[in-house]
Amino acid sequence: MNLRRARDAKGLTQEQMAERASISLYAYQQYERGAVTRGGAATNPRLATVLTICQALEISINDLLPDVPRLVVATD
C-alpha cells in the first residue's frame, strides 16, 4: 500500500516507476501488489532494489516500509 501511495503522490505510472528503478515492469507490479509465490511466501525485493525505489520516489526507506511493532521485554 505504501509503495502505491508514494507512486501516486509523485504522479508516476507503474511503467515509469519500473524504468526509474531499473527493474522490470512485472517485478514492480508484483512488489506493489504484494504478490505471493506458489508456496505462499511474499515476493519481497532485495534491499538494494528497495533503496533504488526509494531514490526514484525521493522518499526515505522509513516512508516505504511498514511500522515495526515494538518488542516488549518481560522482566521477572
State residue 36 phi and psi, 5-degree precision.
-120, 155
* pTM beyond cutoff 0.95: no
Number of residues that this document lists for the chain: 76
Angle between helices 14-21 and 47-57 (to 10 degrees): 120
Give pLDDT, residue 38: 75
State residue 28's pLDDT score. Answer: 92
pLDDT band at residue 65 under the 50/70/90 scheme: confident
Interval 17-48: pLDDT, tens: 999 999 999 999 999 888 777 777 667 788 99
Identify the pLDDT of residue 41. Answer: 67
Residue 2 has pLDDT above 70, yes or no: yes
